[in-house]
A and B are shown apart, each in its own frame.
Chain A
């Protein structure tokens, strides 16, 4: 219940603190995505797909996804991680409880955004195992990782714009060290998935489309 127990007052305090940060934060930027068209194309081919969004609930993204008639599962991984306590490493049990779709439900598409960068290698492997258990064979996972030494202190908020663009909204100018996952590391962590497409973009973001193997 920790997600729900935050009171209005504390939210106001958080909002005012956040406002102080957002006052100096970068303007949103739009970048072309090379993996997104393939993601949308697969989405368009799927009748009533189950889509898991591991980011925050954003109205404009929900609007875009509504065009595909999907069932959208929104599970904000970063917020859940914060609620669980930032100190230690998250256990596999956390991910089992975090990703618990209704019985018989399997995900066809996963939007992981840049959240892999905010997990330790152990946590990433635990998330990968949970995704493997909850994704249908052939399911696609869209993820972005940074090749820079530092990354924003909080995950970027991404919004769809058209067929092949993403708006990047940085929520803070504060930076933290980035994990700089190599493709081989991601492959090892996400067992049961293989890289379907990978693109290194000019602004230092590597885009991935992983596909769930099997069947």
Chain B
């Protein structure tokens, strides 16, 4: 089976059972009993040894640690390409986080994040883009002005603060020349 639920991973369960609060008016289940019960925050993982060729769609968050070729279409959910993930596809998601490698275009409805270990060869379209220093990116970033849609942000701490000795010197161009 290609898909592995993160609920089954060690460390994802609460340490101690918490007693359920009393329910004065238990509501009937919203979905028919034959449908799987989905909890918020549920996410699936494609393991490192998995190779998928084709389109991926769904309505839960996804972590890709394996290889995917095709199209990843989870527009309403978060998509993470983990450190081991190798994706040769266009990736659609709400928040798309890249820690591995993507050869394709990234479309994020809310935010695209390229982590330090990540690499994208393709275009990013998102209202907000975060590029961490050390990440590799080749392509285009389609942006909207901050006041219209969102912003593009640097990773915190990416910008050095030290001001050099010559900072702010007025008339730093004794030979300032207008040529041409």
Contact = CB atoms under 8 A, between A and B. Distances in A.
Given A3-B121, A74-B141, A195-B179, 8 more contacts: A3-B136, A11-B117, A59-B133, A63-B151, A71-B143, A73-B139, A195-B180, A200-B175
Interface of B: 83, 101, 103, 117, 119, 121, 129-146, 148, 151-155, 158-160, 162-169, 172-180
A69 B153 contact: no
Contacts of B168: 32, 165
Interface in A48-73: 57-60, 62-63, 65-73
Nearest to A198: B179
Contact of B162 (A29, A58, A73): A29
6 contacts: A4-B101, A4-B119, A29-B163, A62-B143, A67-B145, A71-B141
| Contact-size category for A | 35 or more
Contacts of B153: 59, 63
A198 B140 contact: no
A76 B138 contact: yes
Given A28-B160, A202-B174, A66 B152 contact: yes
A72 B154 contact: no
Smallest CB-CB A-B distances: 8 pairs: A29-B164, A59-B154, A66-B152, A195-B180, A69-B145, A28-B160, A59-B131, A60-B154
Contacts of B158: 58-60
A147 to B, nearest CB: 10
A31 B164 contact: yes
B173 A199 contact: yes
Contacts of B144: 69
A68 B167 contact: no
Contact of A62 (B83, B146, B152): B152
Interface string A178-204: 000001000100000011111111110
B159 A60 contact: yes
A123 interface: no
Given A4-B101, A71-B142, A57 B167 contact: no
Nearest to B173: A199
A62 B121 contact: no
Given A63-B154, A159-B160, A167-B159, A32 B143 contact: no
